[in-house]
Amino acid sequence: MFRAKLSVVPALSAVALALLLSACSSTKEDKTAGWSPNKIYAEAKDEMSSGGYDKAVPLLEKLEGRAAGTPLAQQAQLDKAYAQYKSNEQAQAIATLDRFMKLHPSSPALDYALYLKGIVNFNDNLGLFSFLSRQDLSERDQKAAKESFESFKELAARFPDSRYTPDARQRMTYIVNSLAQYEVHVARYYYSRGAYVAAVNRAQIALADYRDVPALEEALFILYRSYDALGMTQLRDDTKRVMEKSYPQSEYLSRGFKTRSDPWWQLW
């Protein structure tokens, strides 16, 4: 019996050795080991051109290390952020851009970094709004929309002549309109369900926070109708006077709520 136990030891050692050799043989060889930084960059660009953004990211990360301290390393960071964005890795893309702006505050590409950060959050914002027609409305996170606006705002303020600024300004207008319309859409949701106090509160938020946006006409109308439903006649009449003065041709007062054939967020 003692001999039998001893015979197990070499067998176990052989198994362990086989597993170790298997692990070593399965380790992927770094194909870029002998590549120059320019060759790595060329390969990464090829991957991005063919839509292989997920494959481009590790190549660009290697390039960052090997070309550290050079303009090529900075370009690799920006390209990596774009590749992460295209791979639907928004959080990673934002982190990469924040790191770039912290490390290179005087970079000539800073305007592009701000623009790309705005774009990443802008598209995340669109994804947020696209669900509103399929879910009950409730409080939703508007952080991405507001952060997108702040990036575009900083770009326009610091780099008014940048090639990216005109588009950024248009997107800023879109974001403001969307955020205001969102508040009004929620107010209308509450009104349609008889939650008139909640409808008043959301309509008032839109009116207090935004100026000169199309959604305010409906916000006033919701406020007017909600006050009427609550029996608050003085506030109802005051709101109607403001609406008639601000929107003398308003169809809301003559026809009521409009029927939408298209989703309200399809503005861009």
Q: Where are the chain's structural domains?
A: 37-95
Q: What's the whole-number mean pLDDT along residues 215-223?
A: 96
Whether residue 199 has pLDDT greater than 50? yes
Buried b (16+ CB within 10 A) or exposed e, 126-141: bebbeebeeeebeeee
Q: What is the pLDDT of residue 221?
A: 96
What is the predicted pLDDT for the residue at 39?
Answer: 94
Report residue 108 as tokens: 């000539």
Residues 58-104 have pLDDT tens digits of 999 999 999 898 999 999 999 999 999 999 999 999 999 999 999 99
Residues 100, 107 contacting (CB under 8 angstroms): yes
Q: How far apart are CA 60 and CA 40, in angstroms?
A: 7
How confident is the prediction for the chain on average, in pLDDT? 84
Q: 145: exposed, middle or buried (C-beta count within 10 Å: 0-12, 13-18, 19+)?
A: buried
pTM over cut 0.85? no
Other CB atoms closer than 10 Å to residue 123's CB: what's the count?
A: 15
Residue 111 pLDDT greater than 70, yes or no: yes
pLDDT score, position 27 = 54
